[in-house]
Chains A and B, each alone.
Chain A
Amino acid sequence: MKGPRKGQALVATLMVLPCSLFVLTFAFYPILYSFWLSLHRIILGLPQLGEPFVGLDNYRDLLHDRVALRATVNTFVFVLSSTALELLLGLIVALVIHRSFTGRGTVRAAVLVPWAIPTVVSSQLWRFIFNDKYGLLNFIIYGGEVSRYKAWLADPFYAFVAIVVADVWKTTSFAALILLAGLQSIPQELYDSARVDGANAWQRFRTITLPMLRPALLVALLFRTMDAFRVFDLVFVMTQGGPADATNVLQFYGYKKMFAEGLMGYGSSISVVVFLLSFSVAMLYMRVIKVGFLQKG
């Protein structure tokens, strides 16, 4: 028996090799490389300065960087508010498209449309709706009274709200799909016997649907949190982090430092922090979630 099994392991290794090489070279190696870069002072526009080793200087500066702190807080507020809204609305949508009715396929496709739209397009779209001069929102609220029109994206509070709204619009459908798959895995017999026992709709939802949906809810929560953490396109297109850093988020700030200001070393310290933050959040979730076929091995 030993021979074939060894052969199998060799064949398997060869088969996963190309995929592993890509991931090692362009995902795992860059993570370590980022850390190495973050210990140096590297300014893209000034190559004559070289790339001196500066130890933890970048991290010390980061601790005193008010914008970085603001971006961190913003990122967390964004993650919490958008994820909570998406799960709540996603659950409602999932419950609706789970029921059988004529035209359900078309309704499901319609729900998927925002998910399929490029984020850059949905960002421009919402930027247009929130526009101060001829945006649809102003017209809906104030009608023809142009003098009362608001520049929503120039207001720190509303700009943030606008970004959350655009994100919720685009990604609620993803949460809904994960929850729909969860709903479909609940055996119908449970509902039938509960009905025989005289449980009403709310009781059935609370005692069967919610507990059985827990794994799906956790998976949706994990995916949405990690995705909200790296929000970038929306901020880049809609607000550029403004006004006055009200919508600045970590991934945008890191991008700005690294590529707009050319501070590769300092920017790398931001990216290391972003990685560690998101990695620990992911690990936290992974401890409670059982992800599909991972269990089989």
Chain B
Amino acid sequence: MDKIIRKRLSSAGFFCLVGLIVLLSLSPFFWFVDTSFKTEVEVTSVPPVVLPSFSLEFYRSAITRYGLLHFLRNSFIVASATTLLTISLAALAGYALSRLKFPFRVGLLKSLLVVSMFPQISIAGPVWRILYWAGLLNSYPGLIVPYVTLTLPLGVWVLTSFFSELPEELEAQARIDGCGYLQTLYRIILPLSLPGLFTAAILVFIYAWNEFFFALLIMTQRRYQTLPVGIALLQGQYTLPWGEIAAASTVATVPLVVVVFLFQKRIISGLSAGAIKG
């Protein structure tokens, strides 16, 4: 009897803990989503209004007065182009790193690891000057180039570890059949690695979508700014337009939340790929 009660209690405690974790993870952002559907009066009222009147007033004004769709478009262009480029280059490099023997293999993997840890400020000045010199400040390529550089380590890591797990016999056969390395990669490895490519693409896209530091330096003109810059610099004339900030934030975040709920397993495996196998 005693044992059963203790077991019940401990499982009740466990589910309270689960509930608490979910609540703490979701409620702050939920509060912002909630705010985005309020009216001006509801946002500033004390005690706070929990059930909003589902007004779209803030979305409308974020679009018409603050250029939300503009930011959205810029973010989408930059993040998509970054993802496409990074994944292509990372697949090439990842194949060589996982399958072929060459002198500076470990050196390259280690230096990629180092790059992924650089504080952005340590390269910011020179990157800015290079882009200035090339006339690429306030242009999409100007932001895509640093993003590709900064996401390559992540892409190469995930793909290298994914490719390493594919059985090598598959390619041995392909090579006997006369396929070159590129053909083997293209015909055998890539089709089998679609889940891995997709995982890496999600992670790279989220990085590029969320990045703020370089976007702030490089996109100083409003028409090129991405969502994070737009949201960070959103200013009213006298007060902070919290409703519009919440609306823009919701627009910037909801796609990511959907991706997380759909591909939770992939993201988790991708994030820990290569990190812990030692």
A residues sitting closer than 8 Å to B (CB atoms) are 5, 8-9, 11-13, 15-16, 18-20, 22-23, 25-31, 33-34, 37, 92-93, 96-97, 99, 101, 105-114, 116-126, 128-129, 131, 133-134, 136, 139, 143-144, 146, 169, 173-174, 177-178, 180-182, 185, 215-216, 219, 223, 226, 229-230, 232-233, 236-237, 250-251, 254-255, 258-259, 264, 267-268, 270-272, 274-275, 278-279, 282, 289-297
Question: Which residues in B have their C-beta under 8 angstroms from that of A97?
Answer: 21
The total of Cβ contacts below 8 Å across the A-B interface reads: 323
CB-defined contacts of A117 to chain B, threshold 8 Å: 29, 210, 253, 256-257
Residues of B contacting A108 in the complex (Cβ-Cβ under 8 angstroms): 264, 268
Contact among A9, A92, A133, A275 with B119 in the assembled complex (CB-CB below 8 Å):
A275
In the complex, what residues of B have CB within 8 A of residue A236's CB? 212, 216, 232
Chain A at the B interface: SS class: helix
In angstroms, Cα B128 to Cα A297, docked, is 36
Can you report 11 residue pairs joining A to B where beta carbons are below 8 Å apart?
A113-B26, A113-B257, A118-B228, A120-B212, A125-B31, A134-B46, A270-B121, A274-B119, A274-B122, A275-B118, A293-B164
CB contacts (< 8 Å) of A22 on chain B: these are: 89, 145, 148-149, 152
Q: Contact residue range for chain B?
A: 35 or more
* Any A CB within 8 A of the CB of B231: yes
Residues of A within 8 A of B120 (CB): 230, 232, 251
Q: Which residue among B100, B105, B130, B253 has the maximum number of chain A CB atoms within 10 Å of its CB?
A: B100
Say whether B55 faces chain A, with CB atoms less than 8 Å apart: no
Q: How far is the CA of A229 from the CA of B118 in the complex (A)?
A: 10
Given A23-B153, A33-B126, A93-B21, 14 other A-B residues pairs in contact with their CB atoms under 8 A: A15-B93, A15-B96, A16-B102, A22-B149, A27-B115, A96-B21, A108-B268, A113-B26, A114-B28, A118-B256, A122-B28, A177-B268, A181-B275, A251-B121
Residue from B26, B145, B181 within 8 A of A110 (CB atoms)? B26
CB closest chain-A residue, reference B145:
A26
A258: chain B residues within 8 A (beta carbon): 121, 124-125
Q: Which label, helix, strand, loop or mixed, suits the secondary structure of the B interface?
A: helix
Please, which residues of chain B bring their CB within 8 A of the CB of A271? 119, 121-125
Contact A178 B213 (CB under 8 A): no
Q: In the complex, are the beta carbons of B227 and A118 less than 8 A apart? A: yes
Q: Tell yes or no: B63 within 8 A of A by CB.
A: no
A116-B257, A291-B113 known; A96+B89 contact, CB < 8 A = no
B275 touches A19 (CB 8 A): no
B174 to chain A, nearest CB (A): 15
Shortest Cβ distance from residue A74 to the other chain B in the assembled complex, whole angstroms: 15
